[in-house]
Every structure is written in structure tokens, then in C-alpha cells.
Amino acid sequence: MVSVNPFSEFRNECEKILAEAFEKTFPEIQIPELTFERPPTPEYGQLASSVCFELAKKIGKKPLDVAKLLTKAIKKSKLDLTERVESAGTGYINFYVDFAKLSALTVESVMQLGSEYGFVKTEKPQKIIVEHTSANPAHPIHIGTARNPMLGDSLARILNARGHTVFRHFYVDDVGRQTAVMAYGYEKLGKPKPSEKPDHFIGKIYTITSCIVEINRLKRELERVKKVSATEEIAKINRELDEWMAVAVELKEKYPELFEKLLEKISEDENPESEIGRLNKAYEMGEEKAKKLVREVVELCIRGFTETLSRASVSFDSWDWESDYVWSSKVSEVIQRLKTTPYVFTLGGVLEFDADKVAGNYGLKAKLGLREDYEIPPLTLVRADGTTLYTTRDIAYTLWKFEKADKCINVIGMEQSLAQLQLKIALHAIGYGKKAENLLHFAYNLVSLPGYKMSSRRGHYIKFDEVMNEAVERAYEEVSKRSPQLSEEEKRNIANFVGIGAVRYALVEVDPSKPVVFTWDRVLNFEKNSAPYIQYTHARACSIVRKAARKPEKPDYKLLKEPLEHEIVLALASFPDTFVEASEYLKPNMIADFANSLADKFNTFYNALPVIKAEPQGLSDARLALTDAVRIVLRNALALIGIKAPEKM
């Protein structure tokens, strides 16, 4: 027999025999929903039910007495995967699995299903768009933003394995001040060809331009406030000016030639900020010259993104340009539609959307997990100069996505929670409530480096390319130390996927709601909770199977009696449950946790018990089959989070 979910076979059997005992013992009472939990230790079995506590209240008996009646009514002839059932404690019913049968079912299922084991298919497949990364095309992807593609890509892999049709989308945020600043600086330099990786080059232009323009703006503002003797305002501007002057000194030291050239060219304009504003508006209005300029520089940046993400095994099915929705009139159509509702008003020439009023009128606050007394800030739709805001454009983009998918998942940082909330409410206001319910904000927390404060605008960031380079070099040193017999080519190849895998794992294994503190000691730890540790465990299992040089022809699973063996069997049998939970609740970190836990169990097993030399032969074959099953499941788990499982390390 082959099972896609061995542990669920045991659980289903427990549910069936308990339901039958219930019907036999208490025929006059409707069977309640039967739920099971994992006991804290094996001495209480592998599943337990607390149904007797609820039932005891209804019939006026002690829970333990009810438990005894039910266990007595269970027919032993009905037991297959269940070895025995016992009443325990103050009224629990504990179910003990038959490990010989579960071991045979699990290991044989893993061996036969291979790369498909664990991936339980959904009964309701959907078309799902996972929009992720969508980094501003004004600087390279850095370690602070790299968590997004690692989480987004893992989600897409998991949902695809679950049986959904998944489309990976990148939303190119090419409308707005940031791209206008970048394009302004690029044009001032005469649209030069990049002398290095294009996104690195464009990032320098953006940072320097932004700094020079900001200093110019602050100086102009300082002159203005001095005329009205606003003492506090003068002090505030001076502090900001000092900060930006310090950034300028730093940038001039790092990129002297580029800085001087941009300073010279930007100084030719009396008001650079005004020029950037004009370019920004011209691009949004679709003026040909502005379109050609901005698209050219953004495409350069995206070329660099593609190279970086490809190295990390991240790809996209669609690159969706924000400007396309503006120029195609989709954004203006959304604005007109919102204007026909009673929730849009003008304040000081600015078009606003009353999100709080919509939430109140539609009874959305409870649905959205908000307190009734929480006042949702209004959403600015259009500025006084006629330009739109990101969230306004995002409404049009979201409607377009729903033309192609049943569900849309936006992988966006926690700091965008309000914007994502306003987006959902806007969809309700224009009659797309059901679509809003299928729009999910997959929020994640920040990445930090101890002692380092990141700021893209100020050029304070560590490029993701640099992080991957360093990870590979550090992995090479470790591989060379551990496996000096390998050829140079083998060492470099292993170091590449170990280093990049280590970075991917570090950005996925922490619960998305918690921040990631990125330290090399943790990321490249070969001894615990890291991709290299799990990869090394997989390679060890591969090595054992290679050394055995035989197939386990007559495994006797009854001989797997050690607690360590039982723990591994339970972990392998439970992998499909973990996978289903990770896919339903969008928790890629659960897959990372599972892989690490299984690696821990296998390494303890390997260090304590012989495999190839175990006696008798039936035990050796059973342990060898168990080892091969661990290899397959570790590989399958790592594949879900985009990490290669090596055969040698």
C-alpha cells in the first residue's frame, strides 16, 4: 500500500474507531466533532482525544469514566495501524500507533512516491498570483529587501506543489519621485553606459542625485524660513542639512568622479526639485520624451535585478509595469469609479478617499481584524498637481490581476499594512468585495544587521549580490576544510549552492512576523539550524546509501524498536501534514523548521546506531531504507524553499 499521507491514515483510523465506539456506547447523543492532539511524550501515545471532558458535562459522569466506557467499546478487530487504545489521566483517550506497520507504510510510500512524497494535492485547485519582490528600480536589491523574494518564491513553490496553478509576478514601480530622481541624474550624466552591473551603477546615480537634490532643497527652504524668523524650523532644517552634508562627504569619498560630475550638472538648474517634479508628471502623463528616458534607465536596473534573482533561483512569469496601468487609463477609470461613490472628497485640491466611512458602512472592521473604535486614515488618491499615488495605481493593478487569478497574494513588508488595508477597502467601495476577500497581504518583518543602519536613500545598504558572494566564499573555506579530497571544481560548485542556500534559509526560517537578525555565525553554521547543516545531513544520508551499495531487499520494520527510529518514522509520516499546514496558512518557515528537526533526529540516529553493519540483515535493510527515506524527504523539503540538496559535501 502507498499513502500520500501516512500519519493521516492513522489519524483517520483513530477517528473512525472512536466514532463507532461513541455511537455504540451513547446512541442517543449526537457525535461531536472529534479532534486529536499530539501528546507531549510517547508514553501517552501518538494521538490523544479530549472529547470525554465535553461529553462528561452533558451526561453527568466523570471524564475518566466516560473514557473507560469508550475504550472498552472499541473493537480490536478494527485496529490496523493502531496498536492499542487506552484511557488515561483525568479523561483522555490515548491512541498508540503500531510502529512496525506505520514504518512499513511510511518508508515504502516515500520510496515509491519519491520526489512527489509529502505534496498532498488540494481538492480545490485555484489560479493564484504571488506578487513578490517588486523592489524599487532605483538601486540594487539589498539584504534588507532580499527577504521578500526568498519568502515569495518559497510561497509560490509550496502552493504549486499543493496543486494550485501559480503565477509569479513582479510589479515594476516605475511611476513616482524615486524613478524621476534616478532618471534626472542619469540624463544629467548624458545617459552613460554602465561600467559595472547595471543596477549597481544606477544605484550610485540615484543615491548621489538624491543627496545633492535634497541638500539644494534644504538650503532653499532654509533661506525661506530665515525670512520669517522661524527659530525652531531653522534649527530643524539645519540638523537635516548637517545629516545630508555628512552623507555627501561619504559619497564623495566613495565615488569622487561621479559625485563631482553630478554636482556640476545638477548645479546648472536653479531648482532641481522642480525639474524632477516636472519629469515625474510628464512621465505619468505619458509624454514621449519622458517615457523614453525613464523606461531606459528602469530597464537597466531590472536587467541587474534579473541577474541577481536568477543566481538565487528566483524567476518570474510576468513583469508588470505600473506605468502601463496609468497610460492605459485603467487608473483614471478607477478614480472615476471611486468618485461616483459617497466616499471621495476634495481637500485643498487633493482627492481623498474616506476608508473609515466605507469600513463602517460595510461592517468591515471586524472582518479585517480591526477594533471598532480604530479610525482608518483616509487614502490620498490624487495630489494637488494631478499625479496619483502608489496605492491608487495599485487598485487598478489588483483588478487586472483578478482578471487572471482567483486569489492574489501580495508579499509586501509590514510597513505597508495600512496601504494594503486601504486597498482592500477601496475594492469593497467599488463593488469588488469578493475579490477583496481573496486579496491577501503576506506581511513580513525587517532584516537587520547588528551595528548597521540601512537607508536606501542615503546609500547605506549591503547589496544582495555582495551577501551572496561572501556566503559563497565563506562556504568554500568551510568545504575546503571539511573535504580537502574534493577537486577544486567540486569545492567551488558545492560552495556556490551551499552559500546561496544558506542565505535563502536564513531569510525564510524565521516566522515572517518576526525580524531577521542576519549574522554569519548563524547563517553558515554547519552544526545546527542552517541550510548547510541540513544539506550536510542530506549528503551524509546519500553517502550511507552509496556505501551500502545495495538495495534494502528484505527490510524487517518490526526490528525498528529504538525510540530514535520511531521519532524519525513519525517525522517522515507527518511531513505531508506539515506541508498542508504550511500551504494553507502560508508559513514557509514551517518547512524550514521541519527540515532542521528531521536533520537533528537523523544525525542523533546516525551517531548512535549502526546502519550498514547492523545485525540481523533485516534490521540493516530497515535502517538503510529509513536512511534513504530521510534523504528523499530532506530533498523534497529543501526544494520547497528553493535550496539544493547535495549528494556530496
Instruction: Give 358-368 pLDDT, tens digit per residue.
Output: 999 999 999 99
Give me the pLDDT at residue 570, please: 98
pLDDT band at residue 519, thresholds of 50, 70 and 90? confident
pLDDT at 112: 97
Q: pLDDT for 469-492, tens place per residue? A: 999 999 999 999 988 998 999 999
Residues 634, 649: Cα–Cα separation, whole Å: 15
pLDDT value at residue 75: 86
Sequence ranges of the chain with CATH classification 3.30.1360.70: 6-97
Calculate the alpha carbon distances from 642 to 150, 240, 314, 315, 504 in Å: 8, 43, 8, 11, 8
Q: Judge whether residue 448 has pLDDT over 90.
A: no
Condensed to tens digits (0 to 9), the pLDDT of residues 128-163 reads: 999 999 999 999 999 989 999 999 999 999 999 999
The position carrying cell 541577481 is: 308
> Please, which pLDDT band fits residue 165 given cuts at 50, 70 and 90?
very high
CATH class of the structural domain 483-505+517-640: mainly alpha
Give span(s): CATH 1.10.730.10, the chain.
Answer: 483-505+517-640
CATH of domain 6-97: 3.30.1360.70
Using pLDDT thresholds of 50, 70 and 90, give the confidence band for residue 32: confident
Neighbour-count burial for 263-296, b at 16+ CB within 10 Å, e otherwise? bebbeeeeebbebbbbbbbbbbeeeeebbebbbe
Is the CB of residue 105 less than 8 Å from the CB of residue 1? yes
Q: Which residue(s) pair with 443 in the sheet?
A: 412
Does residue 254 carry a pLDDT above 80? yes
Q: What is the pTM of this model?
A: 0.93
Neighbours of 260 (CB within 10 A): 12
Mean pLDDT of 324-343: 95
458: pLDDT strictly greater than 80: no
